[in-house]
Structure 1
Amino acid sequence: MGPDDYYKLVEKFDSNSTMTRLIARYAKAAAEDTDDRKSRAAFNEIALTCADGLGSVMRAWDGLSKLSDYCSGQSHVGRRNSPEQVIAMGRWWEELSQDTVKNF
């Protein structure tokens, strides 16, 4: 199977965490077995995307959660209690999250 076949499997089994982890396992093996750099890169991308077993909705949610932590200062040690940080980053929240929220 080629990378395009794997992409189709990822799309088909997006909401099945067990299948996506299996796809990741076999994509990683396929990347190790190929000499074609372009195919190896595609297989590695698939393996990295599917390794955690999260579907596209959960990946989007996880990204939105990480962005929220960043904008609220929760991801910055030492600045968690800084109102200035929250106010400064709060201004960026809508701009940074609008595409994710729109396509959720």
Structure 2
Amino acid sequence: MRHEDLPAAEQDALDAATFRRLLAHLDANRDVQNIDLMILAGFCRNCLGKWYAAAAEEHGIELAPEAGRERVYGMPYADWKRDFQAPATPEQLTAMGARANR
């Protein structure tokens, strides 16, 4: 069976379960820095938080952008940044610059 052959409710359930698994994976791998995600994939935890808030808005739900970030980080962003974000290395900054110039 293909994804598009499933009823919409089942597609939504699988999509939601996958998103929850992604968040759990990111939470279990806090050593992976946002800049590393941006370099490799072009998105990071902050992007996911923005997308979450945008999806809420698309569904007519008022959700502060910070609430979207908290959903992704599992805590206030300031706490995550203080406890888990390392300063970017020169190599990371170079790689990020190269990605931006593609």
TM norm. shorter chain > 0.5: no
TM band (smaller chain)? 0.3 to 0.5
Larger radius of gyration: 1
TM-score, normalised to structure 2, is 0.33
